Amino acid sequence: MEQLLEKYYRPKLPHIWCPGCGNGIVTAAIVRAIDKLGLDQDKTTIVSGIGCSSRASGYLNFDTLHTAHGRALPFATGIKLAKPDHKVLVITGDGDATAIGGNHFIHAARRNIDLTVIVYNNNIYGMTGGQYSPLTPQMARATTAPYGNIDRAFDLSELAKGAGATFVARSTTYHAKQLAELVAKGIAHEGFAVVEALTGCPISYGRQNKLSKPAALLAWQRDHTVPVEAAARLKPEQLAGKIKIGVLHQETAPEYSAEYGKVIKQAMGGRS
């Protein structure tokens, strides 16, 4: 780990995250995935939106872009199209990706552009102090839902798949090793890849929902998840309240920047 720290993190620590926050674990999983694949650090760009998780870009030793709330994906789209041979990773939170950035999310998925999006899903707006997001479970408490949240939550993975993402996976900070493997698979996948990382926010979510102990959040992740392979053998009643983890969807489809490469070739009359 020390080697990874030296190589992939900027000397910017300590980070801004609260003690017990899961964001460091997700970020470490991304770094392990990058290391496993041996990505060229000068040909990898990390883009993030706004929020607790999106501060991760600042800690990582790559070309990094901390954008505006919800806008990480279109910024990343511009980078990828201008530099198709670069790897572009996107770090975003649940509110960032699916509320203000919801439109960008579904359209990036629709295009199947080769971006790897890691959604740090802590079910809450952490940085602004605990307001409900589109991924806050129904009836959970939030500062803007003092009587319990009546909004129905998105199933992020289904949303991504429905919009055209060609790789969708999910894991948790409790399953940190699996999370790193899934991020690696997402990066290796050519096309729009979404990895949903369930991460605990003891402060803004936990305190309002009887999960303020980091260990309790991890135990919650352990007890409420089931590997997708095992889920296939379970009856619907056994699956009730369980979240599937693993690779949830993968298919092959034309990738956007490669397709545009063909447009250029055609427009240039075969020259390049």
Partner 1 sequence: MAKAVLMQGNHACAEGALAAGARFFAGYPITPSTEVAELLAKRLPQVGGTFIQMEDEIAGMAATIGAALTGVKSLTATSGPGFSLKQELIGYASMAEVPCVIVNVQRVGPSTGQPTSPAQADIMQARWGSHGDRGVIALSPASVPECFSLTIEAFNLAEQYRTPVVLLLDEIIGHMREKIEIPAADSLTIVNRKKPVLPPGEFLPYQPEADGIPPMPAYGDGYRFHVTGLAHDYTGFPSGANSTSQELIARLHTKITDHADKIVTFEEQQLADAEIAVIAFGGTARTAYAAVEMARRQGIKAGLFRPITIWPSPAKQLKALAQKAKTIIVAELNYGQYVQEVERIVAGQAKVVSLAKWNNDPITPQEMLAAITGAQAN
Residues forming the site for partner 1 (CB under 8 A): 10, 12, 41-43, 45, 47, 57-58, 61-68, 71, 73-79, 81-83, 86, 103-104, 107, 260, 263-264, 266-268, 272
23 touching ligand SF4, by CB under 6 A: yes
Amino acid at 69: H
Query: Among partner 1, ligand SF4, none, what binds residue 18 when CB lies within 5 to 8 Å by partner kind?
Result: ligand SF4
For ligand SF4, the closer of residues 116 and 204 by Cβ is 204
202 touching ligand SF4, by CB under 6 A: yes
Helix axes 72-82, 256-267, angle to 10 degrees: 40
Closest CA to 217 of 200, 205, 229: 200
Q: Per-residue DSSP letters for 140-156?
A: --BTTBTT---SPPP-H
Shortest distance, position 2 Cβ to partner 1, whole Å:
20
By CB under 6 A, name the one of 28, 29, 52, 108 that touches ligand SF4: 52
For partner 1, the closer of residues 45 and 173 by Cβ is 45
For ligand SF4, the closer of residues 207 and 222 by Cβ is 207
- Residue 117: phi, psi to the nearest 5? -105, 120
Task: Evaluate whether 154 touches 134 at the Cβ level (below 8 Å).
Answer: yes
User: Cα separation of 238 and 244, whole Å?
Assistant: 12
> CB atoms < 10 A from the CB of 188, how many?
14
Instruction: Kindly state the number of chain residues that form the binding site for ligand SF4, as judged by CB under 6 A.
Output: 12
Q: Is the peptide bond before 84 cis (omega within 30 degrees of 0)?
A: no
Shortest distance, position 92 Cβ to ligand SF4, whole Å:
13
Interface positions with ligand SF4 (CB under 6 A): 17-18, 21, 23, 52, 122, 126-127, 201-204
